[in-house]
Amino acid sequence: MCINTWEQRKLGELSEKLEYGLNASATNYDGENKYLRITDIDDNNHKFNREFLTSPNIDISSSNHYLLKSGDILFARTGASVGKTYIYDEKDGKVYFAGFLIRARILSNNNTQFIFQNTLTKKYLNFIRVTSQRSGQPGVNANEYRNYRITVPKLNEQEKVGHFFKILDKTIDLHLRKINILKNLKQQYLRVMFVENEKNTPEIRFKSFNDVWEQRQVEDIALIATGKRDTQDSIEGGKYDFYVRSPKIEKIDSYSYDGEAVLTVGDGVGVGKVFHYVNGKFDFHQRVYKISDFKNFSGLYFYYYFSTNFIYESRKYNAKTSVDSVRREMISKMKIPEPSVEEQNEIGRLLKKVDDTINLHQSKLSTLEQLKKSYLRKMFL
């Protein structure tokens, strides 16, 4: 058990130096030399987002001083992202850092991961909020970062704390990667398992199904209704879900419908985009459309098809170039491809299974993120 007293140190005392990055524009990635700018640091996980790689537009041979190495932490010094940090990961390869970033090269008698995790605490965020106040654009310069105070234990305890958070971050990243993989998989399924441009068979389908798909209008397979309640009728702590004109779900103490339904927004924010599949007791806002009472048709299949194609279908029945509102008459005339009910059920079950797995990992991720926030609050002074 570690019983050593923690001591306050300035960031400048824990670092060899704090220095500004490379004053160069970005150019096309050359395949080796990466250029890290403020916008390349992910706002949530603080990793190097390598989706759009660039290289520094400068003579590389004279710029080795700006290469990152193990022990480096970067700090954003200006703009809306001031205070954002990044710890160099050798997996990122050969990385140069840009001029709106400040590098702290942590001394070897301190643990870099421990120092980095300090920059994710509420104490650090408060320091940034107070220090960055300017008459113009917010900013924190190298000297101000140098004076940021961190309470540190002996090296062996720093290493244990740093290792703990590194493992926790790896677990969080694992769930994030799984979620992204599953979301991409779902998008592929949505692309190949439904017919496009009024074709009569999809690109991929389950074995034993070979019937030609027909086009049906929504009014032939379901009923369309708007809600009766306004948002003011919602009750805090109610028992039943109340669906409003956004992804937000409120609660009320009564319900108007019990069964399977697909919900979408009729106008304003989220029109044509916000879909819910519901199966149970609920109520819904007066500007939300409920599509229900399906006649020999799978509600799940309907939901997945229209969550992907609703905007496209809306524009076919609306002279506007963008969807500002959708009338009941428009929805009723929209077309949906109709395979057999058995095939509809198979498609719906598969996509729901993917969604359930995504939600499972999302739930675990949320738990881990809350856990980390708690540890950051309790394990740092």
Q: Please tell me the chain's helix, strand, coil percentages from 3-state DSSP, rounded to the nearest 5.
A: 40, 25, 35
Residue 267 gets which letter from DSSP?
A: B
Spatial distance between the Cα atoms of 74 and 163, rounded to a whole number of angstroms: 19
CATH topology of domain 155-196+340-381: Helix Hairpins (1.10.287)
Spatial distance between the Cα atoms of 298 and 341, rounded to a whole number of angstroms: 7
Q: Per-residue pLDDT tens for 213-255?
A: 988 999 999 999 998 877 665 566 788 999 887 777 888 888 8
Spatial distance between the Cα atoms of 157 and 321, rounded to a whole number of angstroms: 61
End-to-end CA distance of the chain: 18
Whole-prediction pTM value?
A: 0.81
Angle at 106 between CA 130 and CA 57, to 5 degrees: 85
| 82, 140 Cβ separation under 8 angstroms | yes
Task: Using 70 as the pLDDT threshold, list the residues of the chain that sit under it.
Answer: 1-3, 197-198, 231-236, 268-272, 314-324
**pLDDT reported for residue 323:** 52
Domain 214-338 is classified in which CATH homologous superfamily? DNA methylase specificity domains (3.90.220.20)
**pLDDT reported for residue 319:** 47
> What residues does CATH 3.90.220.20 cover in the chain?
7-152, 214-338
**pLDDT reported for residue 148:** 96
Q: Which CATH code is given to the segment(s) 7-152?
A: 3.90.220.20
| 226, β-bridge pairs | 289
Query: Which residues are CB-contacts of 223 (< 8 A; sequence separation ≥ 6)?
Result: 291, 292, 293
C-alpha 115: how far from chain center: 26
> What residues does CATH 1.10.287.1120 cover in the chain?
155-196+340-381
Residue 6 gets which letter from DSSP?
A: P
Q: Per-residue pLDDT tens for 131-151?
A: 999 878 899 999 999 999 999
**pLDDT reported for residue 68:** 96
Spatial distance between the Cα atoms of 106 and 275, rounded to a whole number of angstroms: 49
**pLDDT reported for residue 317:** 61
Spatial distance between the Cα atoms of 218 and 237, rounded to a whole number of angstroms: 35
Tokens describing residue 40? 């390349």
| 71, 78 Cβ separation under 8 angstroms | no
Which of 331, 332, 334, 333 lies closest to 267, judged by CA? 331
